[in-house]
Amino acid sequence: MSTNHAESGAVRSGARLRFVSSSGFVIDATTSADDGLLREFYSDYDRAFVLENEKEGYDGFAECLRLNHGDAYADLVKRYGPFREFVLVVREAKTDVRLGGANFIIFPISSKREVVLSMNLNYVFVNPEARRGGVFRRLMGDMPNIAYRLFAQSNSSDLPKKWRAKGQESTFLPQVYIFIEQNDPFRMSAKDYDRDTKLTGLDQVARIGLWSRLGAMIVDFPYVQPPLSKEQDADETLAYAVLGARGAALDATLLRSHLQRFFGISVLKGADLSSEPAASAQLSELTKAGKRNQRVPLLAGEISTIRSKMANHSASRPPTLRDALRKPKTLAV
């Protein structure tokens, strides 16, 4: 597939799409497991993620991408509405050298106020040889636009009418929520903490600070990642975070709608949500919160607070990152 890197227009080849991002990266994205891009992506991904319980195998990625097509997609759309899951490779424009990659699922969600584009950024990484050059910050700055462009190109008929009307405007971008999983340093084993830090070169707390500087807020909800495969367990050592949210809390119904799609498609690969205890319990809790019109608080990932509370090895040490970041309640006098 060929394209002129000087042009920002997208070039499609089957399920594969190539365009230049706002900051000048060449983005190769696909919804297929069979056009070769998944193998490029996975060769770098496999170096970037080292903890077995957080990793998706190659076959798992392929299975997810196949849900984008045919009868499987039609069945999932009946349950969850339109969506797309992508893997993408990020390249340097002049040389075409791979700089990193990402995997995410995106879908529109109707909230009480508007329709938003919601993304679960399952994995994002910069290759070791490209780190410390601002690639990650630039890529994340591009991500809302990348998400919208990819969904609009692959699901043009599923765009809300308001988006279609505004889509001719070059500056139009709907509100995009980007949800991510983060290692909870209070819940990780010392072995996993040290191994991940050593092999990635980035301390767990510093990583939270990096995301916080990009605008990520920790979702104050007891998040558990359901098992990624039959051979794996649910992962209770993660925190959930969001970029792009307005205000200090999320609508519980919006969070439920997002997790329902993420768990049902990306994690469980179309399996019945009620069959997985970790997924069904979280969705049930959010259903109840939504009926009470509750909002889920968002917490700032303050590094100084995290480090000081991690240094406390007494019984009063917070059990989770969320507990560490909550502000103490003051009594009215």
- The model's pLDDT over 244-286, given as tens digits with 9 standing for 90+, comes to 998 999 999 999 999 999 999 999 998 999 989 999 999 999 9
What local confidence, expressed as pLDDT, does residue 4 receive?
36
In the chain, the amino acid numbered 6 is A
**pTM of this prediction exceeds 0.85:** yes
* Least confident segment among 39-48, 162-171, 193-202, 265-274: 162-171
207: Cβ contacts below 8 Å, ≥ 6 apart = 182, 183
| Alpha-carbon gap, residue 148 to 109, rounded angstroms | 13
The secondary structure of residue 320, as a DSSP letter, is: S
Using CA atoms of 280, 204, 185, 103 in order, give the dihedral in degrees to the nearest 10: 0
- Extract the tokens encoding 117: 């584009």
pLDDT of 78 over the 70 cut: yes
pLDDT of 152 over the 70 cut: yes
pLDDT of 224 over the 80 cut: yes
**Average of pLDDT values for 88-111?**
95
| Alpha-carbon gap, residue 53 to 237, rounded angstroms | 10
58 burial level (CB within 10 Å; 0-12, 13-18, 19+): middle
| Alpha-carbon gap, residue 257 to 262, rounded angstroms | 9
pLDDT of 318 over the 90 cut: yes
What local confidence, expressed as pLDDT, does residue 190 receive?
87
**Average of pLDDT values for 119-135?**
93
| Alpha-carbon gap, residue 297 to 213, rounded angstroms | 19
What local confidence, expressed as pLDDT, does residue 323 receive?
95
What local confidence, expressed as pLDDT, does residue 6 receive?
34
Class of domain 11-325: alpha beta
| Alpha-carbon gap, residue 98 to 127, rounded angstroms | 8
User: How high does pLDDT run on average in the chain?
Assistant: 89
8 band by pLDDT with thresholds 50, 70 and 90: very low
C-alpha distances (whole Å) from 266 to each of 64, 200, 274, 293, 327 are 6, 25, 15, 27, 33
**Average of pLDDT values for 114-137?**
92
What local confidence, expressed as pLDDT, does residue 181 receive?
95
| Alpha-carbon gap, residue 76 to 71, rounded angstroms | 9
Question: How would you label 128-145 residue by residue, b for 16+ Cβ within 10 Å and e otherwise?
Answer: eebbeeebbebbbebbbe
| Alpha-carbon gap, residue 60 to 268, rounded angstroms | 10
| Alpha-carbon gap, residue 109 to 39, rounded angstroms | 31
What local confidence, expressed as pLDDT, does residue 51 receive?
74
- Extract the tokens encoding 146: 């990348």
| Alpha-carbon gap, residue 139 to 171, rounded angstroms | 18
Q: Are 20 and 94 in contact (CB under 8 A)?
A: no
Name which of 79, 153, 86 is nearest 120 in CA terms. 86
What local confidence, expressed as pLDDT, does residue 333 receive?
42
57 burial level (CB within 10 Å; 0-12, 13-18, 19+): middle
What local confidence, expressed as pLDDT, does residue 193 receive?
86
- Extract the tokens encoding 234: 């649910």
Rounded-to-5 percentages of helix, strand, coil across the chain: 40, 20, 35
Q: Where are the domains of the chain?
A: 11-325
- Extract the tokens encoding 300: 């700032």
Phi-psi label, residue 227: left if phi above 0, alpha if psi -120 to 50, beta otherwise: beta
Q: Are 139 and 90 in contact (CB under 8 A)?
A: yes
DSSP string computed for 140-152: HHHHHHHHHHHHH
| Alpha-carbon gap, residue 243 to 301, rounded angstroms | 12
200 band by pLDDT with thresholds 50, 70 and 90: confident
